[in-house]
Amino acid sequence: MPFRAIRGATTIEVDDAEHITAATVEMVAEVLERNELRPADVISILFTATADVTAMPPAAAARTLGITDAALMCAQEMHYDGGVEKCIRMMLHADVMAGRAPRHVYLHGATVLRPDLAS
């Protein structure tokens, strides 16, 4: 089974459950759409969030998209000077067709992390 790691990142305006859910769902849904994936194709997702994202875990939001059989995990993003604030990042592993290049997703304030991949 060929699989790929697909990256994504986004930011929230306010640290509350509603904003975390909306931003996470938007990011994960965009990765699924751009990569022509179904929730059943997802093997695992590792989410990280900066220390200022505390209202809820992004993995709980991803479950609302029907990703129920994949392993989901959250961790705190490493702090560094000049880092993006209120940032949620992910690395999604998915069962994909061999040879298909992953299409990464960088949204909102996270576009500065990889301007070459942001659209």
Q: Are 112 and 82 in contact (CB under 8 A)?
A: no
Number of domains in the chain: 1
Residue 118 domain flag:
no
pLDDT digits (tens, 9 = 90+) for 29-52: 999 999 999 999 999 999 999 999
pTM of this structure: 0.92
Has residue 1 got a pLDDT over 70? Answer: no
Residue 70 domain flag:
yes
Its domain, for residue 53, covers 3-112
Residue 22's domain is classified under what CATH number?
Answer: 3.30.1330.40
Residue 78 domain flag:
yes
Q: At 115, is the pLDDT very low, low, confident or very high (cuts 50, 70, 90)?
A: confident
pLDDT digits (tens, 9 = 90+) for 52-96: 999 999 999 999 999 999 999 999 999 999 999 999 999 999 987
What element of type H or E holds 18?
helix 17-34
